[in-house]
Amino acid sequence: MKFRELLEKLDKRLQNQANIDLYDFGSEFGIELDYYCEDVNNRLVGYYLTKWLCTDTWVGSIALFLDNEFIGYSYQPARKSDKTYKFLNKELFDKTREYLLTLVEAQEFEYPNFDINLDEELGEGYILDYNGQHLTNNVRFLPTNEFVEILSWDNSYINPNRDEDLAAIKKKFPNEYSGSIVKIKFENGSIRFVKSDKLEVQYPIIKD
């Protein structure tokens, strides 16, 4: 799947909508936005391209739209990491900046690099590092190409068999960090422990 195809099929329903931090976003344009500044016209909207949970915060990459036109995306790998932004081209960057200027006073700024390749091949999904980041649906087991269910085991309040699961992981993967092992359930009901890099989370798109 190419980047442009992902954007064309992207799930733009409310459940996939992401918050845009206008204070952080405005700094990319040399504009100082108040923390309480709002996009009262709802012209700026973000939708998750990739998404995972870091402690208690959803992070990943967010496609950014102004007046329903794709302008670029943000990326945040972890909760305490800074967001980075990429923009499609100068024309859309200027259009977005002009809108932000209607909200606040501008400061000096430098143009970013415009290097988004809409024909970049992205595959059908993305890989996560830790078991706690996995969503509970739409995850594919790469060796067999099967969609599987992620079974939460790492928190005792979710799984009363946590200690038993940890013992099984230690036996099967003695040299691996338990946080990189995922408990999965196949459609036939069988349950296995696998390394997280064997799983692919599907992009949030609306199927044809």
pTM: 0.77
Same domain (yes/no): 152, 184: yes
Q: How far is CA 169 from CA 56, 113, 177, 178, in A?
A: 25, 45, 9, 7
Task: Give residue 195's domain range.
Answer: 125-202
Number of domains composing the chain: 2
Same domain (yes/no): 85, 17: yes
Same domain (yes/no): 140, 76: no
Categorize the per-residue pLDDT at 105 as very low, low, confident or very high, splitting at 50, 70 and 90: low
Q: For residues 46 and 16, what is the distance between their CA atoms, to the nearest angstrom?
A: 9
Same domain (yes/no): 196, 135: yes
> Using one digit for the tens of pLDDT, what is the confidence trace for 60-91?
999 999 999 999 999 999 999 999 999 999 99
Segment 16-38 shows an average pLDDT of 87
Same domain (yes/no): 87, 163: no
- Pairing of β 69-76 and β 44-54: unpaired
Same domain (yes/no): 55, 134: no
pLDDT over 50 (residue 156)? no
101, 133, 155 - which closes a domain: 101
pLDDT over 60 (residue 157)? no
In contact, 141 and 149? CB cutoff 8 Å? no
Same domain (yes/no): 30, 77: yes
